[in-house]
């Protein structure tokens, strides 16, 4: 006597075939969660976690499911979906969609036709289930942040180059995820937006989304409160290119880390691109689960460093040209020499200078810039930079800075170079090696020799002592 088959055995036989025809990650994601609930009159009913889940199966695996159901249940075999609805509704019972596997068109059901407003700002409410339509998502990208106006320098070359590669071939490089890290005001957010904009322009049919970690976390909390966790997860799993800014804010938030872990896995396994920003590299992040940190390390971690003098000048020049501002070159250089901490403060100094000029009806000149800088950094211990010391010394002796950093042994150049080294040692916290590097790649012994020479000349050469006194005042006052 042949034992009558039940839904478990039929679905188990289906899974064996499915497992041989899909990747292991697809099998785990889309078939392991399915529960067979009923088999009656040649109709197999399976329970799936959500509307989105059903749509994905129908869009990507309908042909495979048709063949398997026919093989197991005969030519008249059919498949029905029982869908769990997780929502704020008082009813949480599954509803069923009947789909004949011989016909791709589902029977119309009012529960399926969920109307949505495609013009709605879905990032504020990411739990819209789009029925049988693809959801429309505002990318949340700032059009002012582009790769064209992200100035490249030694401080950011790796991150910018990796960002460009990702934008050209998202999900297709080894830079997935691309984690950009660095201190405040160094351009992490700008670069993240710029990569997103480039991806959107190159692949307009794809969904790009920028969201801060803080906003992601608050959306997740709202989803928990309204019993919409599944819809929250599925919304983010639909994104083609996901950018999470300031991911270090997940620190200590275990449930948020857990849900992001699963979203990360799904996106990465399906070839979607992830871009993350943080204030420190993964190895220094505290309060983060190790399994999440290990995934941050899968791709490339690229740092943004404090911009050097040339990059700061280039950033200011670009900003001045973009805004159509007329500014003397020496003023822009003075700002670049004076503000060395980060790009945000540099741009803030420029805005402050423009405001001072406009409100006080004064021309933009070096005198106004010096007065503004004194107020801008008031109550802050502003360390003089090596670059600025070199500029003051070169201006004093009317020498080009390139000559100061050259290997020439002309007496006047050597003297200026020694003075620059002397003041750099006495007025900054830089090491002898760093001072030497800034002065044309000299070693620490050369810097020590320069300092001894200057001290000796101060005691024996009145003219030279005047140079030192004048420069001391200029560097200190300016």
The pLDDT assigned to 444 comes to 86
CATH number at residue 405: 1.10.1750.10
Last residue of a domain, one of 376, 402, 435: 376
Largest alpha-carbon pair distance within the chain? 118
Question: Does one domain contain both 84 and 11?
Answer: yes
Question: Does one domain contain both 287 and 170?
Answer: yes
CA distance 126 to 427: 54
The pLDDT assigned to 472 comes to 86
Question: Does one domain contain both 323 and 418?
Answer: no
| Residue at 58 is within a domain | yes
Question: Does one domain contain both 237 and 269?
Answer: yes
Last residue of a domain, one of 250, 276, 304: 304
| Residue at 121 is within a domain | no
Nearest 5°: phi and psi at 169? Answer: -145, 70
| Residue at 424 is within a domain | yes
Render pLDDT for 234-291 as a digit per residue (tens, 0 to 9).
888 888 899 999 898 888 888 889 899 989 988 888 889 999 999 888 888 888 888 8
The pLDDT assigned to 244 comes to 92
Regions of the chain short of the pLDDT cut 70? 1-4, 51-52, 84-136, 374-383, 476-478
For the chain, what is the domain count? 4
The pLDDT assigned to 276 comes to 92
The pLDDT assigned to 15 comes to 92
Question: Does one domain contain both 399 and 469?
Answer: yes
CATH number at residue 235: 3.40.50.300
| Residue at 70 is within a domain | yes
- The H-or-E segment that residue 208 falls in is strand 208-212
Phi-psi region of 416 (alpha: psi -120 to 50; beta: other; left: phi over 0): alpha
Question: Does one domain contain both 353 and 331?
Answer: yes
Using a 10 angstrom Cβ sphere, with 0-12 exposed, 13-18 middle and 19 or more buried, the burial of residue 272 is: buried
| Residue at 120 is within a domain | no
The pLDDT assigned to 349 comes to 78
Record the tokens describing residue 251, joined without a space.
Answer: 């620190």
Partners of 303 in beta bridges: 181
Question: Does one domain contain both 90 and 199?
Answer: no
Last residue of a domain, one of 270, 287, 304: 304
* Residue located via tokens 């490089």: 173
Domain of 333 in residue numbering reads as 309-376
| Residue at 126 is within a domain | no
The pLDDT assigned to 136 comes to 63
Question: Does one domain contain both 285 and 169?
Answer: yes
Question: Does one domain contain both 23 and 54?
Answer: yes
The pLDDT assigned to 186 comes to 82
Question: Does one domain contain both 332 and 419?
Answer: no
Q: Identify the three-state secondary structure at position 120.
A: coil
Question: Does one domain contain both 206 and 295?
Answer: yes
Q: Are 418 and 432 in contact (CB under 8 A)?
A: no
Question: Does one domain contain both 289 and 365?
Answer: no
């Amino acid at each position: 006597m042949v034992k009558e088959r039940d839904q478990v055995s039929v679905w188990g036989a289906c899974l064996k075939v499915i497992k041989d025809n899909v990747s292991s990650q697809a099998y785990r994601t889309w078939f392991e969660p399915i529960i067979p609930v009923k088999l009656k009159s040649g109709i197999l009913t399976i329970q799936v976690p959500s509307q989105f889940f059903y749509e994905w199966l129908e869009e990507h695996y309908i042909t495979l499911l048709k063949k398997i159901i026919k093989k197991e249940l005969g030519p008249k075999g059919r498949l029905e979906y029982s869908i769990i609805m997780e929502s704020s509704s008082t009813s949480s019972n599954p509803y069923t969609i009947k789909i004949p596997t011989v016909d791709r068109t589902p029977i119309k059901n009012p529960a399926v036709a969920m109307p949505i407003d495609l013009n709605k700002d879905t990032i504020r409410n990411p739990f819209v289930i789009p029925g049988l339509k693809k959801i429309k998502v505002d990318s949340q990208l700032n059009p002012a942040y582009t790769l064209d106006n992200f100035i490249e320098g030694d401080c950011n070359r790796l991150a910018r180059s990796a960002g460009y590669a990702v934008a050209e071939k998202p999900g297709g490089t080894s830079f997935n995820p691309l984690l950009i890290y660095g201190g405040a005001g160094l351009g992490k957010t700008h670069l993240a937006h710029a990569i997103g904009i480039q991806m959107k322009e190159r692949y307009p049919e794809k969904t790009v989304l920028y969201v801060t970690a803080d906003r992601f976390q608050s959306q997740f909390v709202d989803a928990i409160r309204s019993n919409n966790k599944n819809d929250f997860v599925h919304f983010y799993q639909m994104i083609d290119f996901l950018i999470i800014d300031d991911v270090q804010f997940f620190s200590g938030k275990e449930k948020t880390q857990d849900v992001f872990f699963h979203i990360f896995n799904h996106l990465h396994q399906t070839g979607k691109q992830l871009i993350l920003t943080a204030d420190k590299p993964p190895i220094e992040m505290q309060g983060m689960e190790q399994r999440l940190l290990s995934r941050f390390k899968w791709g490339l971690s690229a740092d943004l460093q404090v911009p050097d003098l040339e990059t700061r000048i280039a950033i200011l020049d670009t900003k001045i040209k973009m805004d159509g501002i007329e500014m003397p070159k020496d003023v822009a250089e003075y700002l670049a020499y004076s503000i060395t901490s980060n790009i945000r403060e540099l741009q803030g100094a420029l805005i402050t200078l423009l405001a001072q000029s406009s409100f006080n009806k004064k021309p933009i000149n070096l005198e106004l810039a010096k007065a503004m800088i004194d107020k801008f950094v008031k109550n802050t211990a502003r360390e003089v930079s090596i670059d600025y010391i070199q500029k003051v010394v070169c201006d004093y002796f009317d020498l080009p800075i390139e000559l100061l950093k050259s290997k020439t042994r002309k007496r006047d150049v050597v003297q200026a170079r020694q003075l620059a080294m002397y003041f750099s040692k006495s007025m900054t916290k830089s090491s002898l090696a760093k001072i030497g590097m800034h002065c044309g790649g000299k070693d620490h012994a050369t810097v020590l020799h320069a300092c001894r020479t200057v001290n000796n000349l101060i005691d024996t050469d009145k003219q030279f002592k005047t140079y030192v006194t004048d420069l001391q005042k200029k560097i200190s006052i300016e």
